[in-house]
Amino acid sequence: MPPTYSLGTPTIPSFPDWERRTPAGLEELAELVRQAASSRTPVYPIGGGTSLMYGGRPRGAGWAVSLQQLCRVVDYPARDLTITVEAGLPVADLQALLAQQGQRWAVDVPQPDRATVGGLVACNLSGPRRFAYGSVGESVLAATAVDGQGMIFSAGARVVKNAAGYNLCRLLAGSVGTLAVLAQLTLRVQPLPETTAFVVARLEDWDRTERVLAWLMQGRVLPTALELAAGPAWAADPLLGPLRPPAKGWLLVGLEGSAKQVAWQLAEIQSAWRQEGLREVQTFGPPQAELLWRRLTEFPVLPGWDDAEANGLPPSRPVSSRLQEERFLVAQASLLPGRVVGLVSRWLKMDAGVSVLAHAGHGSLIGYFPLSAMDGRRCIRELIFPSVEDQGGYAQVLLAPTDVPFAPTDLWSRSPAADPLMQALKRQFDPYGILNPGRWGFGVQ
């Protein structure tokens, strides 16, 4: 029986038994939150249910408020490259609509058929394409939401150029539903690229890797993603596994654009890498490149990661048998891109079972840490967090086996100076503390 991954057992222990509320529209959602505020009932917003284990355990039973009926497209002026949709719209449905106009929302989403636009913005975790297109939060131009007293408010504007006032959209993105329930979002979208390719190199030493990455970031070529992959999870990968195993890892450069742009960049990169002495280089065009994008996006996803079955939803895809059998903790770090290689090398030295994916271009790392020989809490507090904080970075736990005891404050790097500010914001948006109580750290309950 594979272990389940979450921060509770399961994360929302009795989610199926909770009182489910499914408001039909914005006004009904606001009325529901007003009722919850007056009875001090916790409100847990639910999108597609794919990331309910992200963040701390919910504190006490309450209303599971499903956004599934808020799934309309409100406005789509395709020529402006913006779209306004309700928060419960599944990402795959949004992408299908945009594709009809040759456009897309340039985000990387595990399980897009279930994940919703609101859930994605609430978590604000980005994937490989962030290097070229910015974070999920940066693509949000406007939001309409309901605060913890049931008041409807709007932030931002439905236009790409807009700089008035505080940028509340950035505040709401990543607040994991603890400040407001997102009801409607205006997103900046992009033209669909004509084609895609990956160029992959085996890495034999870190010094050369640093030089190659520095060249790739100088701007002569414009990759969509710069990824470093290392460790046993990648050796089991159907595309990388058959290549000769590298001493250190693989560098994967993702390219998107017109066929001419992609071909030119491929030639430039191959020529630069030859001069640098990188001999073993492989290119992947579509459809293998599409598979690599998916693999890089779904790397953090473990089987059973979302308690799907416990929540009466279809199970998530298996990743590899090795990962199913072992107990892992999944952590993420954010730091300056120039420090990524040093941290990858440090994480790999912790244990032979550690696997890493670094979005090297924008300074984000995801690591799988096997807990067979390590106590989970010690692993995060004494090894992972210090390794990131020493580099001036910031760490968070994405997933942990259910038997690892964590408090919400264990899940994120602490920044004591910011706590009072966070608490003041929380009081302002949600004075009764009813929105996703327990989900967030920072002394904010």
Q: What is the DSSP string of 238-259?
A: TTTTTSPPPSSEEEEEEEEE-H
What's the closest the beta carbon of residue 260 comes to ligand FAD, in angstroms? Answer: 29
Examine residue 58 and tell whether it contacts ligand FAD (CB under 6 A).
no
Q: Is 66 helix (H, G, I), strand (E, B) or coil?
A: strand
Quick one: 85 or 176, whose CB is closer to ligand FAD?
176
Report which of 119, 123, 52 is spatially closest to residue 89, judged by C-alpha positions.
119
What's the closest the beta carbon of residue 422 comes to ligand FAD, in angstroms? Answer: 16
- The single residue among 84, 254, 436, 444 that binds ligand FAD, judged by CB under 6 A, is 436
- The single residue among 85, 125, 201, 319 that binds ligand FAD, judged by CB under 6 A, is 125
Examine residue 43 and tell whether it contacts ligand FAD (CB under 6 A).
no
- 287 prior amide bond cis, ω within 30: yes
- For ligand FAD, which stretch binds (CB under 6 A), given 111-119, 246-254, 262-270, 334-342? 111-119
- The single residue among 3, 23, 55, 304 that binds ligand FAD, judged by CB under 6 A, is 55
In the block, which residue shows the tokens 């290119």?
A: 283
Tokens of 104: 């897309």
- 10 prior amide bond cis, ω within 30: yes
- For ligand FAD, which stretch binds (CB under 6 A), given 75-83, 120-128, 266-274, 320-328? 120-128
Which uninterrupted H or E stretch holds 284? strand 281-284
Cα atoms in the 13 Å half-sphere on the side-chain side of 60: 10
Site string for ligand FAD, 313-342 (x = CB under 6 A): -----------------x------------
Quick one: 45 or 246, whose CB is closer to ligand FAD?
45
Examine residue 108 and tell whether it contacts ligand FAD (CB under 6 A).
yes
Examine residue 48 and tell whether it contacts ligand FAD (CB under 6 A).
yes
Which 361-420 positions form the footprint of ligand FAD (CB under 6 A)? 398-399
CA distances from 76 to 177, 192, 299 (A): 25, 16, 32
- The single residue among 3, 23, 47, 393 that binds ligand FAD, judged by CB under 6 A, is 47
C-alpha 5/C-alpha 328 separation (Å) is 9
- The single residue among 45, 148, 249, 257 that binds ligand FAD, judged by CB under 6 A, is 45
In the block, which residue shows the tokens 């402006």?
A: 80
Pairing of the two strands 19-21 and 63-66: parallel
In the block, which residue shows the tokens 């609509």?
A: 97
- For ligand FAD, which stretch binds (CB under 6 A), given 33-41, 45-53, 153-161, 256-264? 45-53
- Which amino acid would we find at residue 235? A
C-alpha 32/C-alpha 28 separation (Å) is 6
**Angle between the N-to-C axes of helices 259-276 and 206-216, in degrees from 0 to 180, rounded to the nearest 10:** 140
- The single residue among 6, 51, 387, 391 that binds ligand FAD, judged by CB under 6 A, is 51
Helix, strand, coil percentages for the chain (3-state, nearest 5): 30, 25, 45
Site string for ligand FAD, 146-185 (x = CB under 6 A): ------------------------------xx---xx---
What's the closest the beta carbon of residue 94 comes to ligand FAD, in angstroms? Answer: 12
Which 85-104 positions form the footprint of ligand FAD (CB under 6 A)? 87
C-alpha 81/C-alpha 144 separation (Å) is 19
Quick one: 106 or 203, whose CB is closer to ligand FAD?
106
Examine residue 84 and tell whether it contacts ligand FAD (CB under 6 A).
no
Examine residue 23 and tell whether it contacts ligand FAD (CB under 6 A).
no
CA distances from 31 to 25, 27, 148, 149 (A): 10, 6, 11, 9
Which uninterrupted H or E stretch holds 119? helix 117-123
Examine residue 266 and tell whether it contacts ligand FAD (CB under 6 A).
no
Q: Which residues pair with 301 in a beta bridge?
A: none
Examine residue 297 and tell whether it contacts ligand FAD (CB under 6 A).
yes
Quick one: 11 or 265, whose CB is closer to ligand FAD?
11
Pairing of the two strands 140-147 and 180-188: antiparallel
Residues engaged in binding ligand FAD (CB under 6 A): 44-52, 54-55, 67, 87, 107-110, 114-116, 118-120, 122-123, 125-127, 136, 176-177, 181-182, 297, 300, 330, 398-399, 436, 439
